[in-house]
Each structure stands twice: as C-alpha cells, then as structure tokens.
Amino acid sequence: MDIALFTSGGLDYLFRWGHFLAGITWIGILYYFNFIQTEYFKEAEDSHRSGAIQKLVPRALWWFRWAAMLTFLSGCWLLAKLGVYASIDIMIGATLGTLMFLNVWMIIWPNQKIVIASATQVAQGGEALPEAAAAAPKAGLASRTNTLFSIPMLFFMGSSAHMTSGTLSSASTAAIGASLVVIFALEANGLVGKQSVMTSVKGVITSGFVLTAVLYGIIVVL
C-alpha cells in the first residue's frame, strides 16, 4: 500500500525516521564517551585532558543532550500512537530509554557543566571548583548506567517489531513487575551506587548483554 509523505501515515513515518536518526546520534556519542574518550582521559597528560574538557567535551555534549531530547520526544509521539497496542517489549525499551534521557538531562549534563567550568577556571589561573571532584564521578556513573541500559533498550525496541512477546495488556503482572524492579534497582545504583564491574569497557558491555538476557528471561518465564 502506497502512503504519501504528507498524510497521517507519512507523518508517522517521519517521526519514526526522526526517532531512529536522533537515537543513532545519541547512542553513538554515548559510546564515544564511554569507549573512547574516557579511556583516552585515563592516559592523557593533564594539559591535553584539560584542553579536551574545555573545547571538545562541550561540543560533544551539545549534540549528545539534544539528540537525547529529540529521541525522547519523538518516542513519546510514537508511544501515544500505539496506545493499548504497545507490547511489553516496547514498555521495557521505553522505560530504559526514558531513564537514560533523564540521566542525561538531570545528572550527566549538570555535573559535566561543573567539570567544564572547573577546568576552564584552572586553565585561566584560578582554583578548581570544590564540587568538581564529586561531579565527575556522578556523571561517570550515570553515563556507565546509560551504556548498560542501551544494550537491552536497543534489543527490546527491535524485538517489538520482529520478535514481540505480546501486547502489554496480555503480559503477566509478574513479568512487568519483575522487569521494573530489576531496571529501577540498577537505576538507583546509577544514582547513588558504584560503577563496580562497569568500570571497564569490557565490564559494562558484558553487563549490558547479561541484563538483556535477564530481562528477556523474565518475559519468557513469567
């Protein structure tokens, strides 16, 4: 069936396209931060790290946070269109994506602003901001948590179209409840816990695949 672009079906497709495009940008920069930049900062000289924090990081964070915003808003549109036809896969993926979005705007970006301001102040001959020492780990933990969440989030967004486990209304209460308990427990750790096994790139990637398997297992078993 042909669907013209400027119809309700075409508009729906434009939102899907925008959702994919913004999401790819967001997650791509998330992986750059966690797999490339963070590892580089561990080895870089202080002057090089300071220069990158002042000049490179703000640019990357601009694209990062606004891509997250566009992904979230377009996702809200698509969820509203689905309504009662949303699957449990979509519920899990959307929950993970929403928490990731909130982590970007409420934890990562506010704390990174402190880190950037501190580095700039030091470069200009001033003293480091006292709060910067705590801000960097907070942003880092939230970023690692988002990386952890991104793997199952992408899995369930894809499975909703190609391997759906049924509509949300037909899913068992136990499956929904157990999935949310696991997700929100990990989010709580992302707020006040520790990176633990997520400290290394290998650790956070492995943890992401394990989380995907756990959440999928919950759906299948319960």
- Measured CA to CA, the distance from residue 147 to residue 131 in angstroms comes to 25
Residue ranges of the domains in the chain? 8-221
Give, in order, the Cα–Cα distances in Å from 59 to each of 16, 78, 170, 212. Answer: 26, 29, 44, 31
- What pLDDT shows up at residue 86? 78
Closest by CA position to 146, among listed 113, 186, 88: 186
- What pLDDT shows up at residue 82? 80
- Measured CA to CA, the distance from residue 97 to residue 95 in angstroms comes to 5
Contacts of 43 (CB under 8 A, 6+ apart): none
User: Mean pLDDT for each consecutive 10-residue tract of the chain (222 residues)?
Assistant: 68 89 98 96 92 95 98 93 81 96 98 96 93 95 98 91 63 87 97 95 98 93 84
Alpha helices (H) in 32-123, listed in sequence order: 38-43, 46-55, 57-82, 88-103, 109-123
CB 101 within 8 A of CB 68: yes
Q: One-letter amino acid identity for 110?
A: P
Residue 82, SS3 per DSSP: helix
CB atoms within 10 A of CB 162: 7
96: tokens are 């993970």
CB 176 within 8 A of CB 90: no
- Measured CA to CA, the distance from residue 119 to residue 80 in angstroms comes to 42
CB atoms within 10 A of CB 209: 13
Prediction pTM value: 0.92
Closest by CA position to 87, among listed 14, 27, 175: 175
At residue 50's C-alpha, the angle toward residues 34 and 54, to 5°, is 85
